[in-house]
Amino acid sequence: MVRRRIFVKNDFRWIHEEPLAIGSGRCILPIMQLKPITEPLLRWYRLNARELPWRKNISPYRTWVSEIMLQQTRVDTVIPYYERFLSELPTLEALASVPEERLLKLWEGLGYYSRARNLQKAARAVVEKHGGVFPAEYPDILALPGIGEYTAGAIASIAFGKPVPAVDGNVLRVICRLTGSRRDLADPKTKAEIRGALQDIYPAEHCGDFTQSLMELGATVCLPNGAPRCGGCPLAEFCTARKDGTTGEIPVKAPKKGRKIELKTVLLLFCGDQVAVRRRAGQGLLAGLWEFPMLDGHPGRAEILEYLRQSGIAVNELSESVTAKHIFSHLEWHMNGWRAECASTDGPAELIWTTRQRLKQEITLPTAFKAFSKQT
């Protein structure tokens, strides 16, 4: 039997289970086979780690902001956003008190604005419940808004030196290849097993470096899509997929269901130097963010003119503008743009007319509207 520690309902528990078979497609390697990776991986990391701004002056706040920004966003994209964010909001208290509109402006271009809002909610929770001191224990970190197991593990290990794994897509790929596991990456049990296995090999004195070394190996050497750089890998001698020639087949990911496609029509309404925007509903996709007025579907010119007439918007001229596609995780918007020169700023109360300058400097439009913002 193998004894290992897992995290269940806010606490760690020891469990006993049968050793796991190699490459069976059912389970992960026994812990003993992962243990030898720690030393060579840490040595490699110290020599090869990229210099990234969040790796300097490590603090829970800096680690947390970087991890939230890095979700679904590339490192190169994040760096300037991170530096600007930290320079304007250098402390948790500053984040807790910044007006939401300014926060969203700092986030503009990163997308997934709920991440920014949750950052602020969590900062306020730390101020209210923890006296402004970021909690050091994993369950307390996990309880903060917008922080899941991965981010909580990253903060606990990197900023507080705790032996808590942070298992993201990079780490899953590395461990599945090392162990030859053909478990489905999308299956939550796979992640739970890998967390459990890593938990037991965390080097007590170097938890932060170990977390970052696994992430770094996945990001720079054990690359996705069947093209790992095994020749430069410090773990090559331990790697089952490399030995078996199966790096192109592992990791295994069940195909995703196709995304739903929604047709949208974006209306760019101008009146002199003014342009119309409105707030989205407080719930659901892009909740509470600004948008250009939109219609469902792809109506033709006559239908759009009729809609504008019924809305009390007097139009001098209507012309086709750009088209664009925006991909959300579960949904695609296929958007046709129309530009209308209006005779006045009359129209529904939900429309807010603003100057082009204010639109650029103060109003945050989601990335979905980027192609249309450029037309203003």
List, by residue number, the catalytic residues. 67
**For residues 280-319, which are near ligand SF4 according to CB under 6 A?**
none
Query: Which one of 117, 162, 177, 183 is in contact with ligand SF4 (CB under 6 A)?
Result: 177
Whose tokens are 């478990």? That residue is 183
Query: Could you tell me the two tokens for 196?
Result: 């459990």
171 touches 218 (CB < 8 A): yes
The neighbouring-strand residues paired with 315 are 342
- Kindly give, in sequence order, each residue whose CB lies less than 8 Å from that of residue 76, ignoring residues fewer than 6 positions away: none
Q: Does 183 bind ligand SF4 (CB under 6 A)?
A: no
177 touches 241 (CB < 8 A): yes
Q: Does 127 bind ligand SF4 (CB under 6 A)?
A: no
Q: Does 141 bind ligand SF4 (CB under 6 A)?
A: no
Query: Could you tell me the two tokens for 50?
Result: 């990229």
Listed ranges 57-65, 236-244, 251-259, 328-336: which one lies at the site for ligand SF4 (CB under 6 A): 236-244
Q: Does 22 bind ligand SF4 (CB under 6 A)?
A: no
Listed ranges 100-108, 132-140, 240-248, 320-328: which one lies at the site for ligand SF4 (CB under 6 A): 240-248
Query: Which one of 186, 230, 295, 315 is in contact with ligand SF4 (CB under 6 A)?
Result: 230
Q: Does 251 bind ligand SF4 (CB under 6 A)?
A: no
Handedness of CA 140, 143, 146, 152 (dihedral sign): positive
Q: Does 41 bind ligand SF4 (CB under 6 A)?
A: no
53 touches 82 (CB < 8 A): yes
Cα-flanking dihedrals φ and ψ of residue 341, to 5°?
Answer: -90, 120
User: DSSP character for 37?
Assistant: G
Listed ranges 58-66, 106-114, 226-234, 332-340: which one lies at the site for ligand SF4 (CB under 6 A): 226-234
Q: Does 37 bind ligand SF4 (CB under 6 A)?
A: no
Query: Which one of 62, 117, 242, 339 is in contact with ligand SF4 (CB under 6 A)?
Result: 242
What SS3 state is found at 340?
strand
Residues in contact with ligand SF4 by the rule CB under 6 A: 174, 177-178, 221-222, 228-230, 233, 235-236, 239, 241-242, 247
